Amino acid sequence: MESSSVVSELEGTLVKDPDPFSYFMLVAFEASGLVRFVVLLILWPVIRLLDMSGMRDVGLRLAIFVTFVGVHESEIESVSRAVLPKFYMDDLDMEAWKIFSSYEKRVVVTKTPRVMVERFVKEHLRADEVIGRELIVNRFGFATGFTRSEGGSIADRVRLLFEDHPQPDMGLGRIPSGSSFLSTCREQSHPPFIHDQEHNRQFLRPIPVIFHDGRLVKRPVPSTALLIILWIPFGILLAIIRLGIGLMLPMWLIPYISQLFGGKIIVKGKPPPTPPPPGPGSSSGVLFVCTHRTLMDPVVLSTVLQRRIPAVTYSISRISEILSPIPTVRLTRIRHVDAEKIKRELAKGDLAVCPEGTTCREPFLLRFSALFAELTDRIVPVAMNYRVGFFHATTARGWKGLDPIFFFMNPRPVYEVTFLNQLPVEATCSAGKSPHDVANYVQRILAATLGFECTNFTRKDKYRVLAGNDGTVSYISFLDQMKKVVTTFKPFIQ
């Protein structure tokens, strides 16, 4: 459709859930903390009652005020950039998207503050404009909790947007929502949307969410939020017990005891046999090349193999090193220095490496560093994956020292470890393959095993998207580390 245009409501149309309350709960938890999260949940019956009494706008303003008042603008933008897109994408109505994506000019209307949805609809749904409420921010950069609607009503703002163009060709929205902008469109369509072959011919897939941050696994609708709040005290106690088991018990005993406390490890493939003790003339150890899902990857690998396999790391926290039941080898990101470190460790025995250099939660593999392929031909690819119920065990914006604690706070964390065959000599650098070819081959077979997609994204790409930096970690003082604990463990202390 040449020069065609569409204006669509977000809530209840492009995304299935017409109630934005769970997204306010996400912002409250990730940007402020558990106290605000609890207060907002306590007020949910009031907000719901106002909605049912015909005072929907009053209830919405109350939810916005409690969610945002006193939160810094940069923190709101960070959550909107790194956390919310994943949850919006999971709730996307694909039939509505097929219609929306078939038009050239796309405008999204939202009842929430514009900052919450702008990143998602522009970068993932390819929208040109977003019409929503504007948060009022004081001169210190903190949200007041109040909003303003610039340009009058939604219909007036749509007309203003199209004042130099013909009126919108299509309006998508719910009939009960009273979306006044629909009257400005030539045609209207309401959910549920019917599959249309004309739209299907021009169907574009939304741009996937590859990088995602935040601690909550599930979108906190009121019932889920209540479960999370009730579980947290038990989860903290369970995490302490599980960490103690990992630190005090021998490796061979951990799988049996961990099952008593809800943990589960699924092993597929055939692990390589335990090597003989290193000695003069003995070959180097096996290099286990693992996908990187959480900080627990090499620990779980050691648990499965029932021996402590050292792991190379780039930037784990000192707390994580202290809590780690396996030896860790800190790399410098200086190629020749790291190569010598890895060679020395391989001369001592087996070693685990995650060549992505950082974790990725979604079903994608980041680009593999080729360094491992240059150093040995004894390469065993290991596909690692995990499932958790409440809390993610990785973070880009927060303090990484809490990653193992959040992992063990989940009721039933499950790890799946799949051992692939050791690479044949003809697939290694000894047969004349370039290190990059070997790394790409290992990435492809691991992705195929997990059903993931390969990408060329790197650690720097991830941190630019999620944290606004390149992921470089420098030394910080103890006082600064404590400040970071306070700001990043806000879900439990504010």
At 338-386, the pLDDT tens digits run 899 999 999 888 999 999 989 999 999 999 999 999 999 999 999 999 9
Q: 404, 413, 34: which is closest to 232 by C-alpha?
A: 34
Give the residue carrying structure tokens 């949805």: 117
Question: Across residues 234-256, what is the average pLDDT?
Answer: 88
pLDDT confidence of 301, banded at 50, 70, 90? very high
Distances (CA, A) of 125 to 8, 86, 176: 12, 12, 24
**Residue 388 predicted with pLDDT over 60:** yes
The answer, yes or no, to whether residue 97 has pLDDT greater than 60, is: yes
pLDDT of 475 higher than 60? no
Q: What is the pLDDT of residue 2?
A: 52
- Residue 211, pLDDT > 50, answer yes
Rounded distance, CA 354 to CA 331, Å? 12
The pTM for the full model equals 0.88
Signed CA dihedral, 24, 25, 31, 36: sign only = positive
* 209 φ/ψ angles, rounded to the nearest 5 degrees: -90, 110
Using the predicted structure, report yes or no on whether residue 99 has a pLDDT greater than 60: yes
Mean pLDDT of 449-458: 95
Q: Which residues pair with 108 in a beta bridge?
A: 8, 130
Full DSSP string of 8-40: EETBTTTBS-S-THHHHHHHIIIII-HHHHHHH
The CA distance from 18 to 348, in Å, is 59
Cβ atoms 121, 10 nearer than 8 A: yes
The 8-class DSSP code of residue 185 comes to S
Is 304's pLDDT higher than 80?
yes
Kindly tell me if the per-residue pLDDT of 142 is higher than 70: yes
pLDDT on residue 178: 52
Question: What's the pLDDT score for residue 476?
Answer: 46
CA distance 1 to 5: 9
φ/ψ of 76, rounded to 5, equals -65, -45
Residues in Cβ contact with 270 at an 8 Å cutoff, skipping those fewer than 6 apart: 419
Per-residue b or e along 173-183, where b marks 16 or more CB atoms closer than 10 Å to that residue's CB = beeebebebbe
Residue 160's pLDDT is what? 84
Residue 148 predicted with pLDDT over 70: yes
What SS3 state is found at 166?
coil
Query: In 105-221, which ranges are continuous DSSP H helix?
Result: 114-123, 154-161, 197-201
What percent of the chain shows pLDDT beyond 70?
89
| CA–CA distance, 354 with 23 (Å, rounded to integer) | 33
- Distance CA(239)–CA(253), nearest Å, equals 18
What single-letter amino acid sits at 406?
F
**How confident is residue 128, by pLDDT bands cut at 50, 70 and 90?**
very high
pLDDT at 333: 80
**Is 197 a residue whose pLDDT tops 90?**
no
Q: How far apart are CA 26 and CA 30, in angstroms?
A: 6
Sheet holding 170-172, edge to edge: 143-148, 129-137, 105-113, 5-9, 170-172, 187-189
Q: Across residues 396-421, what is the average pLDDT?
A: 91
Distance CA 312, CA 371 (A): 12
User: What is the rounded distance in angstroms from the CA atom of residue 401 to the CA atom of residue 320?
Assistant: 5
Between CA 494 and CA 489 the distance in angstroms is: 9
Amino acid at 384: M
Q: What is the mean pLDDT of residues 445-474?
A: 86
How many Cβ atoms sit within 10 Å of the Cβ of residue 425?
Answer: 11
Positive or negative, the Cα torsion across 81, 84, 85, 86?
Answer: positive
Tell me the mean pLDDT in the region 393-422: 91
Place of tokens 């193992």: 404
Query: What mean pLDDT value characterizes the chain?
Result: 87
- Measured between alpha carbons, how far is 263 from 257 in angstroms, rounded to an integer? 9
In angstroms, rounded to a whole number, what is the distance separating the alpha carbons of residues 234 and 257? 18
Q: Coil, helix or strand for 105?
A: strand
**Residues 286, 307: Cα–Cα separation, whole Å:** 13
Q: 321: pLDDT confidence band, cut at 50, 70 and 90? A: confident
CB atoms within 10 A of CB 133: 20
Lowest mean pLDDT among 89-103, 133-147, 158-172, 312-326: 312-326
Mean pLDDT throughout 3-13?
90
Query: For residue 492, is pLDDT > 50?
Result: no
- Give the pLDDT score at 473: 52
User: What is the per-residue pLDDT across 246-286, written as a single tens digit (0 to 9) for each?
Assistant: 888 888 888 888 888 888 999 999 888 876 665 555 567 89
Check if the beta carbon of residue 60 is closer than 8 Å to that of residue 18. no
